[in-house]
Amino acid sequence: MLKYFFKRLSVSIGVILGVTMIIFAIIRLQPGNPYLNMVKYDTDPDFLEQRLNDLGYYDPLPVQYLKWLGRVVKGDLGYSIHFRTSVSKLIKDRIGNTLLLAIASFVFSTILAIFIGVFSAERSRSIWDYIITIISFMGVSIPVFFFGLLLIKLFGYDLNIVPISGMTTLGEHYTGIYKVIDVAKHMILPVFVLSITQTASLVRYTRSSILDVLQQDYMRTARSKGLTTRKAIWKHGFRNSLISIITVLCMRLPDLLSGALIVETVFIWPGIGSLNYQAILNQDYPLIMGIALVMAIIIILCNLAADILYAMANPRIRIGG
């Protein structure tokens, strides 16, 4: 098991290096430079040259990458050009907000999806099953930003009952439990939007996974010893399909993080997604790289966790891999 773990880990590190290398190349291949926004008609061109030189803009690409990597190994993610503060501080300030959104919708959508999935599988090929399948198809296909704007129109403009942007009520500095309630209210819409596509895809997964298990011999045995379908599903079926559901759950965190980019921009949620959006708009190289690295690490750790959980549950994989 330990050998398998280290093997997976070393692959992961390789992947992280690869990912950062590709992102580095892509952002540097785009036209323009980070100071373009600052250029005014009377800006001294020599001054700009100087700034770009200081930044290492004119070094060959591999040299720039190695320099960046060298600093990262020492724990220095660099300095944001746009925000004029250290990248690690910016990420540290924002990542909590993103995790709050991601975890809330993770929990919400998981519980919802498992129940709907089981419900649907129990009544496979009934009218309920079809309705749920159609709704979940819609949930998977609806673009997140569109759905977000739709909700803003509905709940902000027409009904005016939930906050539609930001994380706290402006000008009110709530503390303690009031702050929690205030933030929770602001979370309703973004969490709902983020959850909906997640729930939709997970419902379909849970449903098919349970249907699969239902056809197993041991389920027939369970039924033959007198259990109702529902009892059989929850006692034997759910447990057996849980292994693959857990794996899917692990793989979902990356989805949540990338979904956050759009949701955060729509709802002005001050997380890593909206930070990333701004960084890209302003060609803030150090910040883009910093966020990419953090995201890559989180995603790869999730994959690693999925691999390991799977291997623990199913020994055949360990031997094969």
C-alpha to C-alpha distance for 206 and 245, rounded to whole angstroms: 7
The two tokens of residue 79 are: 């300095």
User: Please, which residue, 119 or 128, has the CB nearer to another protein?
Assistant: 119
Residue among 51, 123, 223, 318 that touches another protein (CB under 8 A) = 51
Q: Pattern 169-188, binding to another protein, x per CB under 8 A?
A: -xx---------x--xx--x
Site membership for another protein, residue 226 (CB under 8 A): no
Residue among 55, 77, 87, 90 that touches another protein (CB under 8 A) = 90
Half-sphere exposure of residue 156: CA atoms within 13 angstroms, side-chain side: 16
Q: Pattern 262-301, binding to another protein, x per CB under 8 A?
A: ---xxxx-x---xx--x----x------------------
C-alpha to C-alpha distance for 306 and 247, rounded to whole angstroms: 5
# residues near another protein by CB under 8 A: 61
The two tokens of residue 143 are: 């673009």
Site membership for another protein, residue 47 (CB under 8 A): yes
DSSP-derived letter for residue 235 is I
Give which of 11, 32, 17 is closest to 65, Cα–Cα. Answer: 17
Q: Taking the complex as a whole, how short is the minimal distance between the CB of residue 220 and another protein, in angstroms?
A: 20
Q: Pattern 231-260, binding to another protein, x per CB under 8 A?
A: ---xx-------------------------
The two tokens of residue 76 are: 């220095």
Contact window for another protein (CB under 8 A) among 5-13, 15-23, 63-71, 110-118? 110-118
Q: What is the dihedral of CA 289, 27, 306, 256, to 10 degrees?
A: 90
C-alpha to C-alpha distance for 188 and 179, rounded to whole angstroms: 15
Beta bridge partners of residue 86, listed in sequence order: 79
CA geometry: angle 88, 92, 93, nearest 5 deg: 120
Residues that bind another protein (CB under 8 A): 30-32, 36-45, 47, 51, 79, 82-86, 89-90, 93-94, 108, 111-112, 114-115, 149, 152-153, 156-157, 160-168, 170-171, 181, 184-185, 188, 234-235, 265-268, 270, 274-275, 278, 283
